[in-house]
Amino acid sequence: MALYDIPIHTLQGADSKLGSFAGQTLLVVNVASKCGLTPQYEGLERLQKAYGDRGFSVVGFPCNQFLGQEPGSAEEIAQFCSATYGVSFPLMEKIDVNGDNRHPIYAELTATPDSEGAAGDITWNFEKFLVSGTGEIVGRFRPQIEPEDPAIVDAIEASLSA
């Protein structure tokens, strides 16, 4: 199944698909509110503001699989992200990114290798995938790579220029 065709739900529970973002470059990220990497929301939001008007969007997928670092309800997640980091990019429903209940979106994403050629399971919160406007997965960036790292910024700009 193509990445754009996989059913998802917004954080508010509405039916959606990544296909609703067709034509936009996406940075898909598994996020968490109580993680040491949670401050990456700041960089993600800066990317959203810098490139949003050029056909780019961050898309966050809350996940509670890493030491229970996203325990909140949808309402609590939305409130935290808005009040703490001013998040304006779309957040989807809380999902599993690894294991038997891995969401089909992440089954597709995790088949993509990172810059060192390693594919497979998500290693921690804030792993990032760059998706082109045609739905092709064009980059994978491990959690420790900050959102505004030159490798990510350069990949976003290249995708937007393609």
Residues annotated as catalytic (active site), given as ranges: 35
Name the residue among 115, 129, 132 with its Cα closest to residue 55.
132
> Phi and psi dihedrals of 95, rounded to 5?
-135, 170
Contact indicator for 25, 56 with CB cutoff of 8 Å? yes
Its sign, for the CA torsion 101, 42, 143, 29, is positive
Name the residue among 39, 94, 34, 96 with its Cα closest to residue 68.
34
Q: Are strands 25-31 and 56-62 parallel, antiparallel or unpaired?
A: parallel
Q: Which residues of 17-44 are buried (b: 16+ CB within 10 A; e: fewer)?
A: bbeebeebbbbbbbbbbebebbebbbbb
